[in-house]
Amino acid sequence: MAELPKNLAANPILARWITVHSDGRIDVRAGKVELGQGILTALAQIAADELGVGLAAVRMVPAGSGGPDEGVTAGSLSVMDSGAALRVAAANVRMRFARAAGGDDFSYARFAAAVDLEVPADPDVPLRSEAGLVGRSVERLDLPDKVFGRPRYIQDLRLPGQLYGRVVRPPSRGARLVEVTAAVPDGLTLVRDGSFLGLVGPDEATVVRGAEVLRQGTRWDEHDSLPDEEDLDKFLRAGPHETITVVDDGAAPPGGDKDGTTGARGSGAETGGSRQRGASAADSRDDHVEAVSERVVRATYSRPFVAHASMAPSCGVALWHDDGRLEVWSHSQGVHPLGRAIAAALGLEADAVRVEHVENAGCYGHNAADDAAFDAVLLARAVPGRPVQVLWSRQDELSWAPFGSAMTADVAATLSADGAISSWHYDVFSQGHMARPGYAGVPGLLAATVLGHAAEYPAAVDPPAANGYGSMRNALPGYDLPRRRVVGHRLLRSPIRSSSMRALGAFLNVFAIESAMDELAEAAGRDPLEFRLEHLSDPRGRRVLIAAAEAAGWRQPPPEGHGFGLGYARYKGTGAYCAVVAEVEAEADVRVRRLYVAIDVGRVVNPDGVRNQIEGGAVQSASWTLTERVRFDRRRVTSDTWETYPILRFSQVPRVDVTLVGGEENEKSLGAGEAAQGPTAAAIGNALAAAVGVRVRDLPLTREAVVAAIERDS
């Protein structure tokens, strides 16, 4: 007997997924949400094919309390997991209608009332072999409303009797409200619970002005709580840590201790020995990579804290009913976990909270969507029977949403006499990458930490190995390497909230690994592409590397002042294969001129959707790599505007060429959303090194960082 796909096994009743109406319209529900990635279009293609209908007959219903609980839309798993579940669910529906009609030639409209879908799915249902829509670039279902400016986003939501709310944030982490001296403007309701402070009223502009008056008329108790932003390496290494061993083949690190903590805050190679753990960045700025007699290469790579910087600030809407029921509208990536977290935070029964998904202008990771929803809940509790919409400010979004963790990674590798890698040791230091609602058994909602009975939340955790890790995601190289030791060190205390950001730890880990591969290739006197191929037996990995190199004209010399660089990884070691070649110009500034990406995502549902995901991921990665860095002093985040937290401008966006590789019918879909992040960063870093002749190992790769590296190596 076959087994149901795991998401269908967790939600086996067909009616949770599909409803057939008497006019022939078919509502399809998935537990995955539209983030601008086009997932509802791809899932509609899968469902329509299996139902045997055209795309126009299918209406994708946003995720919510009436549909299946598929957890969080994350990890590049939507097509793989939700698509597999929906395909079998749709096949079950088609089979039940065919049985009711006595054959395969039937009308869904005619038999809608006769077929009961309140039944569990049959795992042995036959699947349709021919693909009609799957594999084609059909038009996106969500784009017409967005292109023509029709109401679609949560900010456009207008419910009967709707009020507007704003929250006055503490001025800094750990601040506590002492007193409110401002007079509340007429017509507005003041809401205070401990240090949670907000206003509610019928006119949004009046509420915004009132919130600013309130902000000016408050007194807070503040204290220094943040680390030194100029020495994040020391902060990350100081501990305490949870140690996560991915693999340990038993070999001691070259020139280091058996525990593998080489501690080298190095910017280059060493010939043996180990630095004091926690050494400052300045201790090793004069190092440089070279082939040494012991054939040892050491280097340390890092990234700062990074903000989601969503296009539109987060928003939430809540309606507190007089009978204690609660309705919430949110652009959360996990509406069911959010509902459970809100219930837990307020001591409600889980079934008293209903959360429905409404789109916002995009985010790949845990931004402030859940927090904005909980803000709305707390304000709505003060005005039962009236829905309240809360919109965050840009300053709040850049200051208070969870960040992608800063990370630092040490590589120590040896080369044999023939130039092959003979050992590999890797240590990465990071905060956790998971603090979504419900993490570690706590609600995980920002406002709960400032209420009168304030919640104490643990540091961010990491997903388990079965889910691809967090700090250690892609920390294990995909190459054929002997004597490996790969260990993570997750910080257990931090005043800075970190959580899931696109690709989690894979962004820095792939940047570090692939940068080290180039440095090892240089030490061995090998071409970077050939060096990788010599250490890679996976045919699909080899195929994307060769495809990207061929598309870029790898063997052709770049123009003066330009450099080519290569990056490669298989996402999570189990997902899509991706290789990137970057062309970087580094004369007056660092400019990425072109990115050549080859991607193997297995069975492709929508080719245009895959290209969109890869292009978007590559551009976002380029922005992280070149410009983005959260800035803060010892009390507060200071990069709270687009001027102080710059992102890549349209004039700086490189051309991205995407080559789809593989995609045979019998291959399972692997997901494209996060595959390009790490390889793109690595390719840019390697191209920059090729262009200027020095290597910058600490992100972002700014003009100032390049000048400092040149001065260091001069």
Rounded distance between C-alpha atoms, residue 506 and residue 512, angstroms: 10
Cα Rg for the chain, rounded, in angstroms?
A: 26
Q: 592, 584 in Cβ contact below 8 A? A: yes
Q: Edge-to-edge strands of the sheet including 577-586?
A: 562-570, 577-586, 590-600, 655-660
Domain of residue 692: give its range: 525-714
What confidence tens digit (pLDDT) does each residue in 460-514 have?
999 999 999 999 999 999 999 999 999 999 999 999 999 999 999 999 999 999 9
Compute the average pLDDT of residues 567-576. Answer: 97
Structure tokens at 392: 């965050």
Q: 607, 137 in Cβ contact below 8 A? A: yes
User: Residue 577: which H helix or E strand, with range?
Assistant: strand 577-586
Rounded distance between C-alpha atoms, residue 309 and residue 612, angstroms: 20
Structural domain includes residue 618: yes
Rounded distance between C-alpha atoms, residue 514 and residue 527, angstroms: 14
Confidence of residue 255 (pLDDT cuts 50, 70, 90): low
User: DSSP state, 401?
Assistant: S
Rounded distance between C-alpha atoms, residue 115 and residue 471, angstroms: 48
| pLDDT value of residue 256 | 53
| Alpha-helical segments (H) within 155-196 | none
Rounded distance between C-alpha atoms, residue 354 and residue 339, angstroms: 6
Lowest mean pLDDT of 21-25, 75-79, 149-153, 377-381, name the range.
75-79
Pairing of strands 326-330, 353-357: parallel
Domain count, the chain: 2
Domain final position from 86, 116, 147: 147
Domain final position from 95, 119, 147: 147
Q: 125, 97 in Cβ contact below 8 A? A: no
Compute the average pLDDT of residues 357-376. Answer: 94
Compute the average pLDDT of residues 117-124. Answer: 97
Instruction: Work out the burial of residue 78: count CB atoms within 10 Å of its CB; fewer than 13 is exposed, 13-18 middle, 19 or more buried.
Output: buried
Q: What is the number of residues in the chain? A: 714
Compute the average pLDDT of residues 337-354. Answer: 96
What confidence tens digit (pLDDT) does each residue in 680-689 have?
999 999 999 9
Other CB atoms within a 10 A radius of the CB of residue 378 amount to 25
For residue 118, what are the contacts with CB-CB under 8 A and spacing of at least 6? 13, 14, 15
Rounded distance between C-alpha atoms, residue 123 and residue 9, angstroms: 9
Rounded distance between C-alpha atoms, residue 409 and residue 265, angstroms: 9
What's 53's domain CATH number? Answer: 3.30.365.10
Q: 305, 334 in Cβ contact below 8 A? A: no
Structural domain includes residue 52: yes
Structural domain includes residue 713: yes
Rounded distance between C-alpha atoms, residue 41 and residue 682, angstroms: 31
How open is the CA angle 705-710-714, to the nearest 5 degrees? Answer: 150
Domain final position from 115, 147, 179: 147
Other CB atoms within a 10 A radius of the CB of residue 650 amount to 5
Q: Examine the pLDDT at 293 and tell me if it is beyond 90.
A: no
Residue type (1 letter), 68: P
What confidence tens digit (pLDDT) does each residue in 414-458 have?
999 999 999 999 999 999 999 999 999 999 999 999 999 999 999
Question: Pick from 677, 701, 696, 691: which is nearest to 564 by CA?
Answer: 691
Other CB atoms within a 10 A radius of the CB of residue 160 amount to 7
| pLDDT value of residue 290 | 40
Q: Examine the pLDDT at 410 and tell me if it is beyond 90.
A: yes
Rounded distance between C-alpha atoms, residue 688 and residue 585, angstroms: 8
Structure tokens at 113: 């009332």
Q: Examine the pLDDT at 223 and tell me if it is beyond 50.
A: yes
User: DSSP state, 698?
Assistant: B
Confidence of residue 363 (pLDDT cuts 50, 70, 90): confident
Q: Examine the pLDDT at 279 and tell me if it is beyond 80.
A: no
Question: Pick from 318, 369, 314, 368: which is nearest to 343 by CA?
Answer: 318
Structural domain includes residue 483: no
Mean pLDDT over all residues of the chain?
A: 92
Percent of the chain with pLDDT over 70: 94
Q: Examine the pLDDT at 663 and tell me if it is beyond 90.
A: no
Higher pLDDT, 268 or 544: 544
Confidence of residue 260 (pLDDT cuts 50, 70, 90): very low
Give the Å distances, CA to CA, from 310 to 358, 363, 452.
Answer: 16, 6, 30
Structural domain includes residue 502: no
Compute the average pLDDT of residues 584-592. Answer: 94
How open is the CA angle 620-459-430, to the nearest 5 degrees? Answer: 50
Structural domain includes residue 30: yes
Confidence of residue 280 (pLDDT cuts 50, 70, 90): very low
Structural domain includes residue 27: yes
Beta-bridge partner residues of 193: 196
Phi-psi region of 384 (alpha: psi -120 to 50; beta: other; left: phi over 0): beta
Question: Pick from 52, 37, 126: which is nearest to 82 by CA?
Answer: 37
Compute the average pLDDT of residues 29-50. Answer: 95
Compute the average pLDDT of residues 377-384. Answer: 98
Q: 386, 371 in Cβ contact below 8 A? A: no
Compute the average pLDDT of residues 213-218. Answer: 95
Percent of the chain with pLDDT over 90: 87
| pLDDT value of residue 712 | 87
Structural domain includes residue 672: yes
Confidence of residue 522 (pLDDT cuts 50, 70, 90): very high
Confidence of residue 294 (pLDDT cuts 50, 70, 90): low
- Tell me if the bond preceding 700 is cis, omega within 30° of 0: yes
Task: Tell me the angle at which helices 677-692 and 607-626 cross, rounded to the nearest 10 degrees.
Answer: 50
Question: Pick from 372, 316, 322, 317: which is nearest to 352 by CA?
Answer: 322
Compute the average pLDDT of residues 555-561. Answer: 91
